[in-house]
Amino acid sequence: MPEPQHCPSPRELDDLELLLGGGLAPLTSFSTDGPITLALPADAPPAGTLELVDPEGLPLARVELPGGVLTALADPSHGPFRRLHLTPAQVRSQYAGALSVPVAAPLTHSDLVAIRAARGGRHVVLLALSGFGTPQGVTAVGLVRATIAAAGLLGDANVVAVPLASHGDPAVDHELGVQVVGNYAPGDVLAVTGAGDLAAEIAAVVESDQPDERGVVVFFTGLSGSGKSTLAQALHDLILEQGERTVTSLDGDVVRRNLSAGLSFSRQDRETNIRRIGWVAAEIARHRGIAIVSPIAPFDETRKQVRAMVEEAGGDFVLVHVATPLEECERRDRKGLYAKARAGEIPEFTGISSPYEEPADADVRVDTTGRTIEDALADVLAVLPFPVVPVVELVETHTPQPKAD
């Protein structure tokens, strides 16, 4: 029987690399009560071994359960600037006696002056702390690029990418940072302040890494017949009419026919469908596009997973709860689904035989009952992180506005 496999989260992959390479010494395995933990999948065996793989399926390590003892299987190979990911032993061997400078944000003029004053003729190793959530003001790739630019300005300097991830607690992150930098440093360590302005070469890198426009996912959730698809389509059309941003619509029914064909409407398959939508939407946001999605998405946990995907990709996540009451949705019933659900022909139908968990973290709540599309959409436009202004019609029409149902 093949060994079960699991792909850890981005933070856990960073931790794994440091554990296997000696960056977190004396720690050599995941723990159950500290910051360096591994969230196991629900189907993980209670005892035995689990293969940890990268996003492309390459086995990286084997973890013993319970206990978390690791056995390395392969060196990590995914991710940009992989050539700069050295182990502490490699850094100490190649740059013995060098001055080490931990870098969590682009180095400023003042930082460069301080490094030049402290180096005393020594080689400089800039440790770019590029793990998940650690870089400040730039992406992980942007931090490495900015640090390479700084190395060019300093001369006789090299950059080492250190996958030190943030664990959400400043005190814990500081303690881990001191531990990791101490393992990597082949000599003295200089801490810089990050105060002051950036050199032109570094500022150019930051500007290209942090454009004015960020990717956005606008996530409409609500009961069948609530008006979410109508509002999503209206927003999609409005953005296209404005002509300033690229936008993709991931309608629930369309996705079901294509991306998620073959899935049932069981809770497990519905959650799989939403995660698939979320992954695609997050990739669109990663490349600074706008994704508009409008599934029912009845479960809070899955919606939060999609939010995390988008935020990890560097995008903004806007959750729109189309909170039209069940009675109104059932009155509309354009597709006859509620009638079939009441007759027992559709099992696990949201709002009838399966729950809808109302979001407590929605950016806006819109009830479309008795409202025009234009009026209901105005509530959504008010919370978007980018401007959307309706295009003024050159010729006025007197066609009554359709209702948002």
User: For residue 14, what pLDDT is reported?
Assistant: 96
Overall average pLDDT of the 40-53 stretch: 89
Q: Which residues of 235-263 are buried (b: 16+ CB within 10 A; e: fewer)?
A: bbebbeeeeebebebbbbeebbeeebeeb
User: For residue 62, what pLDDT is reported?
Assistant: 95
What confidence tier does 397 reach under pLDDT thresholds 50, 70, 90?
very low
User: For residue 398, what pLDDT is reported?
Assistant: 40
Peptide bond between residue 76 and the one before it cis (omega within 30 degrees of 0): no
Asked if 184 and 99 touch (Cβ cutoff 8 Å), the reply is no
Q: CA angle at residue 117 from 113 to 123, to 5 degrees?
A: 100
What's the CA dihedral at 201, 208, 110, 105 to 10 degrees?
A: -140
User: For residue 253, what pLDDT is reported?
Assistant: 65
Amino acid at 29: S
What confidence tier does 325 reach under pLDDT thresholds 50, 70, 90?
very high
Closest to 222 (Cα-Cα) out of 296, 330, 153, 287: 296
Asked if 222 and 228 touch (Cβ cutoff 8 Å), the reply is yes
